[in-house]
Amino acid sequence: MRKQVIAGNWKMNKTHKEAESFINEVKGKVPSKENVESVVCAPFPFLQKLVEETKDSDVEIGAQNMYFEENGAFTGEVSPVMLKELGVTYVVLGHSERRDVFGETDETVNKKVHAAFDHDLTPIVCVGESLEQRESDETMNHIESQITKAVEGLTDDQVKQLIIAYEPIWAIGTGRTASSEQANEVCTHIRKVVGKLSGDEAAEAVRIQYGGSVKPANVDELLSQSDIDGALVGGASLEADSFLKLVEAGKHE
Ligand SMILES: O=C[C@H](O)COP(=O)(O)O
Protein backbone atom coordinates (compact mmCIF):
# COMPACT_ATOMS: atom_id res chain seq x y z
CA MET A 1 0.00 0.00 0.00
CA ARG A 2 1.32 3.45 -0.92
CA LYS A 3 1.84 5.73 2.07
CA GLN A 4 -0.25 8.90 1.93
CA VAL A 5 1.65 12.17 1.85
CA ILE A 6 -0.13 15.29 3.01
CA ALA A 7 1.76 18.48 2.26
CA GLY A 8 0.81 21.98 3.29
CA ASN A 9 1.95 24.66 0.87
CA TRP A 10 1.94 27.93 2.77
CA LYS A 11 2.74 29.91 -0.39
CA MET A 12 3.81 33.50 0.50
CA ASN A 13 2.09 33.62 3.87
CA LYS A 14 2.90 33.96 7.58
CA THR A 15 5.38 35.91 9.67
CA HIS A 16 8.32 34.24 11.37
CA LYS A 17 6.43 34.31 14.66
CA GLU A 18 3.32 32.75 13.11
CA ALA A 19 5.40 30.03 11.46
CA GLU A 20 7.04 29.17 14.76
CA SER A 21 3.81 29.06 16.70
CA PHE A 22 2.18 26.86 14.02
CA ILE A 23 5.03 24.36 14.16
CA ASN A 24 5.04 24.24 17.95
CA GLU A 25 1.32 23.57 17.87
CA VAL A 26 1.45 20.71 15.39
CA LYS A 27 4.80 18.98 15.89
CA GLY A 28 3.79 16.78 18.83
CA LYS A 29 0.37 16.01 17.40
CA VAL A 30 0.86 14.75 13.85
CA PRO A 31 0.53 10.98 13.36
CA SER A 32 3.65 8.85 13.18
CA LYS A 33 5.59 9.09 9.91
CA GLU A 34 5.24 5.32 9.67
CA ASN A 35 1.56 5.92 8.92
CA VAL A 36 1.50 9.16 6.94
CA GLU A 37 4.03 11.71 5.70
CA SER A 38 3.17 15.16 7.08
CA VAL A 39 5.02 17.89 5.22
CA VAL A 40 5.06 21.66 5.64
CA CYS A 41 6.33 23.58 2.60
CA ALA A 42 7.25 27.00 3.88
CA PRO A 43 8.81 30.19 2.48
CA PHE A 44 12.63 30.15 2.33
CA PRO A 45 13.25 32.52 5.30
CA PHE A 46 11.47 30.14 7.70
CA LEU A 47 13.06 26.87 6.60
CA GLN A 48 16.07 26.78 8.89
CA LYS A 49 14.04 27.49 12.02
CA LEU A 50 11.33 25.00 11.05
CA VAL A 51 13.86 22.24 10.37
CA GLU A 52 15.46 22.87 13.79
CA GLU A 53 12.10 22.88 15.55
CA THR A 54 10.94 19.63 13.93
CA LYS A 55 14.17 17.64 14.24
CA ASP A 56 12.78 15.01 16.61
CA SER A 57 9.22 15.07 15.32
CA ASP A 58 7.19 13.42 12.57
CA VAL A 59 6.87 16.64 10.58
CA GLU A 60 9.02 17.02 7.45
CA ILE A 61 9.91 20.38 5.98
CA GLY A 62 9.78 21.21 2.28
CA ALA A 63 10.62 24.20 0.09
CA GLN A 64 8.24 25.64 -2.48
CA ASN A 65 10.76 26.03 -5.29
CA MET A 66 14.48 26.01 -6.03
CA TYR A 67 16.83 26.64 -8.95
CA PHE A 68 18.47 23.75 -10.81
CA GLU A 69 22.11 24.95 -10.63
CA GLU A 70 24.25 24.24 -7.58
CA ASN A 71 25.73 27.75 -7.30
CA GLY A 72 26.79 30.73 -9.41
CA ALA A 73 25.62 34.08 -10.68
CA PHE A 74 21.85 33.54 -10.34
CA THR A 75 20.73 36.51 -8.26
CA GLY A 76 17.73 35.79 -6.10
CA GLU A 77 17.76 32.04 -6.59
CA VAL A 78 18.17 29.24 -4.03
CA SER A 79 20.02 26.04 -4.90
CA PRO A 80 19.37 22.39 -4.05
CA VAL A 81 22.70 22.31 -2.20
CA MET A 82 21.49 25.07 0.12
CA LEU A 83 18.20 23.29 0.80
CA LYS A 84 19.91 19.99 1.48
CA GLU A 85 22.38 21.63 3.84
CA LEU A 86 19.48 23.09 5.82
CA GLY A 87 17.89 19.67 6.27
CA VAL A 88 14.93 20.24 3.96
CA THR A 89 13.64 16.94 2.54
CA TYR A 90 10.93 17.83 -0.04
CA VAL A 91 10.64 20.48 -2.71
CA VAL A 92 7.56 21.55 -4.67
CA LEU A 93 8.43 22.01 -8.35
CA GLY A 94 6.44 23.45 -11.24
CA HIS A 95 3.50 24.73 -9.19
CA SER A 96 1.02 26.43 -11.54
CA GLU A 97 1.73 29.75 -9.82
CA ARG A 98 5.43 29.33 -10.70
CA ARG A 99 4.50 28.45 -14.27
CA ASP A 100 1.90 31.23 -14.72
CA VAL A 101 3.39 34.09 -12.71
CA PHE A 102 7.11 33.39 -13.07
CA GLY A 103 7.26 31.79 -16.50
CA GLU A 104 8.53 28.34 -15.53
CA THR A 105 8.43 25.85 -18.38
CA ASP A 106 8.30 22.07 -18.63
CA GLU A 107 12.01 22.18 -19.48
CA THR A 108 13.02 24.07 -16.34
CA VAL A 109 10.78 21.83 -14.26
CA ASN A 110 12.56 18.78 -15.71
CA LYS A 111 15.98 20.27 -14.86
CA LYS A 112 14.81 20.98 -11.33
CA VAL A 113 13.50 17.43 -10.89
CA HIS A 114 16.93 16.09 -11.88
CA ALA A 115 18.65 18.52 -9.53
CA ALA A 116 16.35 17.47 -6.67
CA PHE A 117 17.24 13.79 -7.13
CA ASP A 118 20.93 14.64 -7.49
CA HIS A 119 20.75 16.19 -4.03
CA ASP A 120 18.52 13.66 -2.36
CA LEU A 121 15.45 15.89 -2.12
CA THR A 122 12.01 14.42 -2.85
CA PRO A 123 10.35 16.40 -5.63
CA ILE A 124 6.63 17.12 -5.57
CA VAL A 125 5.96 17.89 -9.22
CA CYS A 126 2.78 19.81 -9.97
CA VAL A 127 0.71 19.37 -13.11
CA GLY A 128 -2.77 20.52 -13.98
CA GLU A 129 -5.03 21.98 -16.62
CA SER A 130 -6.65 25.40 -16.93
CA LEU A 131 -10.41 25.83 -17.07
CA GLU A 132 -10.16 26.53 -20.78
CA GLN A 133 -8.26 23.28 -21.36
CA ARG A 134 -10.81 21.32 -19.33
CA GLU A 135 -13.70 22.83 -21.22
CA SER A 136 -12.12 22.07 -24.58
CA ASP A 137 -11.44 18.49 -23.54
CA GLU A 138 -7.66 18.85 -23.56
CA THR A 139 -7.07 17.81 -19.93
CA MET A 140 -5.70 14.32 -20.51
CA ASN A 141 -3.37 15.31 -23.36
CA HIS A 142 -2.08 18.31 -21.47
CA ILE A 143 -1.37 16.26 -18.34
CA GLU A 144 0.35 13.55 -20.39
CA SER A 145 2.57 16.13 -22.01
CA GLN A 146 3.49 17.76 -18.68
CA ILE A 147 4.34 14.40 -17.08
CA THR A 148 6.30 13.18 -20.09
CA LYS A 149 8.48 16.28 -20.06
CA ALA A 150 8.85 16.37 -16.26
CA VAL A 151 10.23 12.81 -16.03
CA GLU A 152 12.42 12.91 -19.15
CA GLY A 153 15.79 11.30 -18.43
CA LEU A 154 14.85 9.96 -14.98
CA THR A 155 15.56 6.34 -14.13
CA ASP A 156 12.59 4.10 -13.34
CA ASP A 157 13.80 3.98 -9.73
CA GLN A 158 13.73 7.76 -9.49
CA VAL A 159 10.21 7.85 -10.91
CA LYS A 160 9.15 5.43 -8.17
CA GLN A 161 10.24 7.98 -5.57
CA LEU A 162 8.53 10.90 -7.24
CA ILE A 163 5.44 12.61 -5.89
CA ILE A 164 3.15 14.06 -8.54
CA ALA A 165 0.56 16.62 -7.48
CA TYR A 166 -2.45 16.90 -9.76
CA GLU A 167 -3.78 20.41 -9.30
CA PRO A 168 -6.45 21.60 -11.72
CA ILE A 169 -5.75 25.33 -11.95
CA TRP A 170 -9.44 26.17 -11.84
CA ALA A 171 -9.71 24.56 -8.39
CA ILE A 172 -6.77 26.35 -6.75
CA GLY A 173 -7.81 28.88 -4.12
CA THR A 174 -11.25 29.18 -5.70
CA GLY A 175 -13.22 27.03 -3.27
CA ARG A 176 -14.18 25.00 -6.33
CA THR A 177 -12.86 21.47 -5.73
CA ALA A 178 -12.76 18.85 -8.46
CA SER A 179 -15.24 16.14 -7.51
CA SER A 180 -13.50 13.08 -6.13
CA GLU A 181 -14.40 11.22 -9.34
CA GLN A 182 -13.01 13.98 -11.56
CA ALA A 183 -9.82 14.10 -9.49
CA ASN A 184 -9.40 10.33 -9.49
CA GLU A 185 -10.03 10.05 -13.21
CA VAL A 186 -7.02 12.28 -13.91
CA CYS A 187 -4.87 10.61 -11.22
CA THR A 188 -5.61 7.22 -12.82
CA HIS A 189 -4.57 8.67 -16.15
CA ILE A 190 -1.33 9.98 -14.59
CA ARG A 191 -0.55 6.50 -13.27
CA LYS A 192 -1.13 5.04 -16.74
CA VAL A 193 1.16 7.63 -18.31
CA VAL A 194 3.86 6.82 -15.75
CA GLY A 195 3.41 3.11 -16.55
CA LYS A 196 3.84 3.77 -20.24
CA LEU A 197 7.00 5.82 -19.65
CA SER A 198 8.67 4.02 -16.75
CA GLY A 199 7.02 0.61 -16.38
CA ASP A 200 4.41 -1.02 -14.16
CA GLU A 201 6.48 -1.01 -10.99
CA ALA A 202 7.02 2.73 -11.19
CA ALA A 203 3.31 3.27 -11.91
CA GLU A 204 2.38 1.21 -8.86
CA ALA A 205 4.87 3.01 -6.61
CA VAL A 206 4.58 6.65 -7.68
CA ARG A 207 2.48 8.72 -5.30
CA ILE A 208 -0.10 11.07 -6.71
CA GLN A 209 -1.57 13.88 -4.67
CA TYR A 210 -4.63 15.92 -5.45
CA GLY A 211 -4.55 19.68 -4.80
CA GLY A 212 -7.14 22.41 -5.21
CA SER A 213 -9.39 23.64 -2.38
CA VAL A 214 -8.76 20.55 -0.23
CA LYS A 215 -10.07 21.05 3.29
CA PRO A 216 -11.01 18.91 6.30
CA ALA A 217 -14.58 18.61 4.99
CA ASN A 218 -13.63 17.00 1.66
CA VAL A 219 -10.28 15.34 2.34
CA ASP A 220 -11.63 11.93 3.41
CA GLU A 221 -13.57 11.46 0.22
CA LEU A 222 -10.65 12.53 -1.95
CA LEU A 223 -8.19 10.27 -0.14
CA SER A 224 -10.52 7.29 -0.40
CA GLN A 225 -10.12 7.27 -4.20
CA SER A 226 -8.09 4.46 -5.74
CA ASP A 227 -5.35 6.59 -7.29
CA ILE A 228 -5.11 9.49 -4.86
CA ASP A 229 -2.25 9.07 -2.39
CA GLY A 230 -2.32 12.37 -0.60
CA ALA A 231 -3.03 16.06 -0.89
CA LEU A 232 -1.16 19.28 -1.58
CA VAL A 233 -3.03 21.91 0.36
CA GLY A 234 -2.79 25.69 0.27
CA GLY A 235 -5.33 27.72 2.24
CA ALA A 236 -6.48 24.95 4.59
CA SER A 237 -2.89 24.17 5.64
CA LEU A 238 -2.34 27.57 7.22
CA GLU A 239 -4.14 26.91 10.50
CA ALA A 240 -2.73 24.30 12.85
CA ASP A 241 -6.12 22.72 13.66
CA SER A 242 -7.03 22.33 10.04
CA PHE A 243 -3.57 20.94 9.10
CA LEU A 244 -3.84 18.38 11.89
CA LYS A 245 -7.24 17.22 10.61
CA LEU A 246 -5.81 16.82 7.11
CA VAL A 247 -2.82 14.72 8.19
CA GLU A 248 -5.01 12.63 10.45
CA ALA A 249 -7.20 11.83 7.42
CA GLY A 250 -4.16 10.53 5.56
CA LYS A 251 -3.21 8.04 8.23
CA HIS A 252 -3.10 4.30 7.52
CA GLU A 253 -2.84 2.09 10.61
O1 LIG B 1 -0.31 23.99 -3.56
C2 LIG B 1 -1.50 24.07 -3.22
C3 LIG B 1 -2.51 24.36 -4.18
O4 LIG B 1 -2.18 25.41 -5.01
C5 LIG B 1 -3.90 24.40 -3.65
O6 LIG B 1 -4.20 25.62 -2.99
P7 LIG B 1 -5.60 25.71 -2.23
O8 LIG B 1 -5.67 24.53 -1.31
O9 LIG B 1 -5.54 27.02 -1.49
O10 LIG B 1 -6.66 25.67 -3.27
Reported as a single tens digit per residue, the pLDDT across 56-107 is 999 999 999 999 999 999 999 999 999 999 999 999 999 999 999 999 999 9
- Specify the pLDDT at position 115: 98
Helix (H, G, I), strand (E, B) or coil at 124: strand
65 assigned to a ligand binding site: no
The pLDDT value given to residue 1: 86
- DSSP secondary structure code for residue 8 in this structure: E
Q: Which residues contact 132 (CB under 8 A, 6 or more apart)?
A: none
Q: How far apart are CA 138 and CA 12, in angstroms?
A: 30
Ligand 1 test: best mutation among 98, 174, 210, 233, most atoms within 8 Å of CB? 233
Determine whether 12 is exposed, middle or buried from the number of CB atoms within 10 Å of its CB (0-12, 13-18, 19+): exposed
Q: pLDDT band for position 252 (50/70/90)?
A: confident
H helix runs in the chain, sequence order: 16-26, 44-53, 80-86, 96-102, 106-118, 131-135, 139-150, 156-161, 180-198, 200-205, 216-223, 240-249
Is 95 annotated as catalytic?
yes
Residue 231, ligand 1, Cβ within 6 A: no
In this prediction the ipTM stands at 0.99
CA distance 226 to 131: 24
